[in-house]
Chain A
Amino acid sequence: MKYRKYITIVVLVPLILLVGCRSDQLSLERTSIALVVGIDKSDEEGDMEIYQTSPVFSREAKDTVATLETIAHSLRQARDNLDSQSAGTVVGGKLQVLLLGKELMTDQPIFDELDVFYRDPKNSPNARIALVDGSVKEIMNFKPSDKPRIAVYLSDLIDTTHLRENAVLTTLQEYHYANFEKGITPAVTEIKLLGEEIQVQGTALLDNNGKYIFSIGHLDSSILQMLKKDVQEPIPISFVVEDPNKVLSVGVTRIKSNIDVAYKNDQLTFDVKFKLKVAITENTSTIDLEKDQKKIKRIIEEEIDKKTIALVKKVQEEKIEPFGLGKYVRAFEYDKWKTFEDKWPEEFSEADFNVKTTVEIIEHGVVQ
């Protein structure tokens, strides 16, 4: 073929143009990587205070973390402001934690403002969301000498608390899901600055608009996740069995949650059965672990039943539904579900809820 050579040349020459992706390259020193972003209420109507911390890659700088703040209507606008404050370009793809102020969440629901995290594919959907009880600014400027960078510290803190099931862990992706799924309302981790420590308080429950409703503690968070069937690790629970302060602690090693939904006399009814396998991890009371097994079982069963009912009652009063029970209604009572799918939390507030816990003690350590 005589023109083969020419074709090759004509085709290969433009390839020289393609060396590297010059316009898309980015050097680390010239970026300001947002690891934590905080959003809080601003004094001015409709505005938000937005904070960002990023690691500093410079030998001359003393601090390893830079915290920036600005006031803006939206996150993208804030980024433009922050861009002009920092030496590098603001990069959002490495975001670890998103902090939301409680005051902001109570007054102006925020889900729509998070749009940019989902719209721009460069952003990571795995950032954890945490609600801050108190001032976001204080946490963003929190620099204790015995802790790593705030981004690493916060994400480890939230992850490990979630491992013990003492709080939920909600990523941006899961929040997006909970917001659009009609059979569930969102819940996020709640943290608080207590003096020199940041503590995970438990779980903050939101309504479908992202408005903050109320908070629950550690044990309630565990129950929430048992109902969500989202439990992997052993959950430690302590009970006060004898006054004063005599405690029996157990580790729940296996949980089977069985959730049944049915219409009984036209009344939506949930029958929940928890089957727990527990190991006794601590006993400071006078209960004999061998002889009083029945009594121990009863204590645990009653306690969990009581707590679950109380939690559900409270949730029903506030007209939210963080358990995802709507999915069961959709799956098994679809015709009924169609009639109220857009106002599921209100429908749930009138539902009957029964819970029955059965406990099996599998071990009590190596002493009697």
Chain B
Amino acid sequence: MAEDIILEARDLVREYRSKEGMFGKVNVTRALKGISFKLERGKTLAVVGESGCGKSTLARILTLIDPATDGDLLIEGKKIDIAKQKITPDLRSKVQIVFQNPYGSLNPRQRIGDVLTEPLMLNTDLPAQERRDKAMEMLVKVGLGPEHFNRYPHMFSGGQRQRVAIARALMLNPKLLILDEPVSALDLSVQAQILNLLADLQEEFNLTYLFISHDLSVVRYIADKVMVMYFGEVVEYGTRDEVFDNPQHEYTKTLFNATPRADIAHIKERLARTG
């Protein structure tokens, strides 16, 4: 086997149904229109697209929150269909997610220690003391300290909260981490810290990332492969250099052109243009 594939999606389709009134006609929105890709172990696939392109729908399907309407999802070669089968704790621990907004994704009334031990309580039968030790260990790994164990989310800054969210996602030793816009709510300097942390953790735990982002400069920095989505379809899929150096699809080109550039040549060109 040449490639070690951890997750494979084959023609994933997701439809949302909404009704106009009680007896009204049913509207079907196809949020995903047949998506296929493979995720290689230890690598990062970046999913790029604008609002409404289906990237968060994809995240929900991959993290086993929502079932797909059609198509196959294979995790480590095994077919998973959560509409038919129950999710085992073992399966749950393979894929975890970090959400965009660290202010909304942590329960304000839950102490950080409880945030971190809850996944263990639900999915494993470790005794309390071990859960506590693991949580302490994880806090240190993500750049916080044991002294943060008994604090509440409001006592942390945005970057620290995102560290907590990452720590929570890692508590079950997942193989695959879905990162849904993990740095887009953060300041530039904090963004750099979190990206560095993610790189360190990937190396330490041999993690696979599916990194959802709309920020092309971040994607270019972190991704091995890039997938561009547009209205529920994949319009471009390739290695980072292929996609960035030679984009094929019209939409990808539009996206690149629209991205503000901060290089000096570009500023000079603009100043010359406007006089």
A binds B: no
Residues of B within 8 A of A (CB): none
